[in-house]
Amino acid sequence: MPAPARSRRQVRLSRSLGLPLTPKAEKYFERRPYPPGEHGRARRRNDSDYSVRLKEKQRLRAQYNIREAQMLKVYKEARREQGLTGENLVELLEMRLDALVLRAGFARTIQQARQFVVHRHIMVDGQRVDRPSFRVKEGQMIHVHQKSAEMEPFQIAAAGGHRDVLPAVPGYLKVDLEALQATLLRRPKREEVPITCDIQLVVEYYSR
């Protein structure tokens, strides 16, 4: 999909879900926060319990840019773990390689982070990894390949060019931005993860 079409799709999805998914979408969202379509501004219907839970699940999926099958797989894993399923779900999603590339500030959006991984620009403990869903373990270091680091997008990142659109680096990551290196210090905690989501509604959606 060409970049302009992909960008427009993200804007429409942002307005539909009620949260900005990219910096560009945020600008459009501020001007037109209502759902897309000629009747978007006029919609005032009461959503059913199911549709509310469905929308919250879609919001979480969109923020991690993953398919439904991937989300369901992680949910089932979260349910098997000890503790609260919803918190486990977010923590497991946050340990995806593409999510941590974004949190570290190497990419501007989750879509760009995924692209960097797929194109083999990202390494974990010295080994190239091309799977965005790769689960990073505590103590592992994420870094940009030496040759890739010379590319303009990574030079911009190393200079702190994404600080204006990204949240502060969370406490579970140690980042040396100039060197394009980040280490996962420990498992993330739900309250530290910079996403917008009522995770209990997501759990209720899947456990229905």
Three-state helix/strand/coil letters over 42-107: HCCCCCCHHHHHHHHHHHHHHHHCCCHHHHHHHHHHHHHCCCCHHHHHHHHHHCEHHHHHHHCCCC
Q: Does the residue 51 lie in any domain?
A: no
Give me the number of domains the chain comprises: 1
Q: Does the residue 157 lie in any domain?
A: yes
Tens of pLDDT, residues 43-72: 445 678 999 999 999 999 999 999 999 999
Q: Does the residue 147 lie in any domain?
A: yes
- Report the pLDDT value the prediction gives residue 69, as an integer from 0 to 100: 97
**Domain of 139: which CATH number?**
3.10.290.10
Average of per-residue pLDDT values in the chain: 87
Higher pLDDT, 7 or 94: 94
Rounded-to-integer distance, Cα 110 and Cα 102, Å: 6
**Given the DSSP bridges, would you call strands 122-124 and 127-128 parallel, antiparallel or unpaired?**
antiparallel
- Report the pLDDT value the prediction gives residue 47, as an integer from 0 to 100: 76
C-alpha 179: how far from chain center: 22
Rounded-to-integer distance, Cα 124 and Cα 142, Å: 5
Q: In sequence order, what are the residues at sequence separation of 6 or more whose Cβ sits closer than 8 angstroms to the Cβ of residue 152?
A: none
Backbone angles phi, psi at 17, to 5 degrees: -90, -15
User: Percent of the chain having pLDDT more than 70?
Assistant: 78
* Domain assignment of residue 105, given as a range: 96-190
User: Percent of the chain having pLDDT more than 90?
Assistant: 75
Rounded-to-integer distance, Cα 25 and Cα 197, Å: 18
Closest of 40, 1, 7 to residue 25, by C-alpha? 7
Q: Does the residue 159 lie in any domain?
A: yes
> Is residue 25's pLDDT more than 50?
no
Tens of pLDDT, residues 181-192: 999 999 999 999
Tens of pLDDT, residues 106-160: 999 999 999 999 999 999 999 999 999 999 999 999 999 999 999 999 999 999 9
Alpha-carbon distance values, 122 to 34, 43, 65 (Å):
37, 43, 18
Mean pLDDT of 79-89: 97
- Report the pLDDT value the prediction gives residue 32, as an integer from 0 to 100: 54
Q: Does the residue 148 lie in any domain?
A: yes
